[in-house]
């Protein structure tokens, strides 16, 4: 039996700072996956089904790049804007 199983949720939360949790690999991966999924939904809604090239490139973006792309997307008029943004911000 784990020693944590006898602690209340509040006691466990008090043991960890929120900033500590945000630095964990699991948290960072979840945040990255969430940002990627949201961008795919937004881009697909705006431009239709994305090609596998776009999907692969966007999947490899850092969280910072995903956030920047999310902001830039607001100004995109057509799919060529996405293509130009990806060329300018990646090694594509």
pTM for the model: 0.72
**What's the chain's average pLDDT?**
87
Cα distance between residue 54 and residue 61, in whole Å: 11
Q: Which residue has the tokens 């792309």?
A: 69
Residue 17 has pLDDT above 80, yes or no: no
Share of the chain above pLDDT 70, in %: 88
State residue 50's pLDDT score.
95
Q: What is the DSSP track for the chain?
A: --GGGGS-HHHHHHHS-HHHHHTSHHHHHHHHHHHHHHHHHHHHHHHSSPPHHHHHHHHT--HHHHHHHHHHGGG--SHHHHHHHHHHHS--
């Amino acid at each position: 039996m784990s020693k944590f199983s006898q602690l209340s949720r509040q006691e466990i939360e008090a043991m960890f700072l929120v900033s500590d949790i945000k630095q964990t690999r699991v948290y960072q991966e979840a945040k990255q996956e969430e940002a990627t999924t949201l961008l795919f939904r937004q881009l697909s809604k705006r431009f239709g089904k994305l090609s596998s090239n776009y999907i692969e490139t966007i999947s490899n973006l850092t969280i910072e790049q995903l956030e920047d792309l999310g902001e830039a997307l607001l100004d995109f008029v057509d799919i060529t804007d996405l293509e130009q943004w990806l060329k300018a911000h990646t090694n594509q």
